[in-house]
């Protein structure tokens, strides 16, 4: 892990390091950051436990005010502690911690700048990645596509960690809360880490269902129409318990 660390002032280009910035709002801000970091680490570990990522692939972030907490690059999630918090501002300048942030930071920041997202989950889920190599859009195999805004698009391939990939992703996310990344994986966002994770898991499940239903020789799966998915999406907005 020591190889992943560097002096925070090197990341800012000056001696005014950011850990103090997390304290400007007082104890309330520090407590909020601590809680969010704990939830982020738990979500990242869940992606591994549920088989959505292998090793240190994939990444997770959550926004607290104008600070984005994000998983560090190349560090196994089971090694992360409360002292390993990593945070950047919306311009990507590191304001918390000394571990390097994920190499996929441009995708996360692009979503926070363009949407009302409070959390983002990116995975290399196997079935979703397989689908991303086959079609430009996930066929409408299940009405849960309505929970993601409609037919799930595939963002054209670009090298990981690049502005080009972030731009391709944003195009695919237009009026959507999740998309596939060609030959790469998935990305989803939500109002919370739980919601972003649930959307990721639903997307992987739909991809698996489509692959299974398409694998039988001589049979073609029945697909839903766009109006059917839109109607389901309307119903899904009222799904669940109300506070």
Give the catalytic positions in this structure.
104
The whole-angstrom separation of Cα 211 and Cα 37 is 35
The whole-angstrom separation of Cα 157 and Cα 56 is 21
**Structure tokens, 185:** 């994986």
Q: How many helices (H) and strands (E) does the chain have?
A: 7, 8
**Structure tokens, 242:** 């109300």
Query: 3-class SS at 243?
Result: coil
H/E stretch holding 205 reads helix 193-213
Interhelix angle for 193-213 vs 27-49, to 10°?
A: 20
**Structure tokens, 169:** 């992703």
């Amino acid at each position: 892990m020591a190889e992943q660390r560097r002096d925070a002032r090197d990341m800012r280009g000056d001696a005014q390091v950011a850990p103090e910035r997390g304290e400007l709002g007082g104890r309330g801000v520090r407590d909020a950051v601590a809680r969010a970091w704990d939830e982020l680490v738990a979500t990242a570990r869940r992606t591994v436990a549920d088989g959505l990522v292998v090793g240190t692939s994939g990444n997770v972030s959550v926004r607290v005010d104008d600070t984005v907490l994000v998983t560090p690059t190349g560090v196994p999630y089971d090694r992360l502690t409360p002292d390993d918090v990593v945070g950047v501002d919306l311009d990507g300048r590191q304001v918390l911690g000394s571990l390097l942030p994920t190499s996929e930071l441009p995708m996360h920041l692009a979503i926070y700048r363009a949407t009302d997202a409070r959390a983002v989950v990116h995975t290399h889920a196997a079935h979703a990645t397989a689908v991303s190599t086959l079609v430009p859009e996930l066929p409408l195999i299940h009405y849960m596509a309505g929970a993601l805004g409609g037919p799930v698009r595939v963002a054209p391939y670009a090298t990981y960690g690049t502005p080009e990939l972030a731009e391709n992703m944003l195009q695919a996310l237009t009026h959507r809360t999740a998309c596939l990344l060609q030959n790469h994986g998935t990305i989803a966002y939500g109002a919370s880490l739980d919601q972003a994770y649930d959307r990721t898991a639903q997307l992987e499940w739909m991809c698996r269902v489509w692959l299974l239903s398409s694998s039988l020789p001589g049979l073609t799966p029945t697909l839903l129409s766009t109006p059917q998915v839109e109607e389901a999406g309307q119903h899904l907005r009222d799904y669940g318990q109300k506070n």
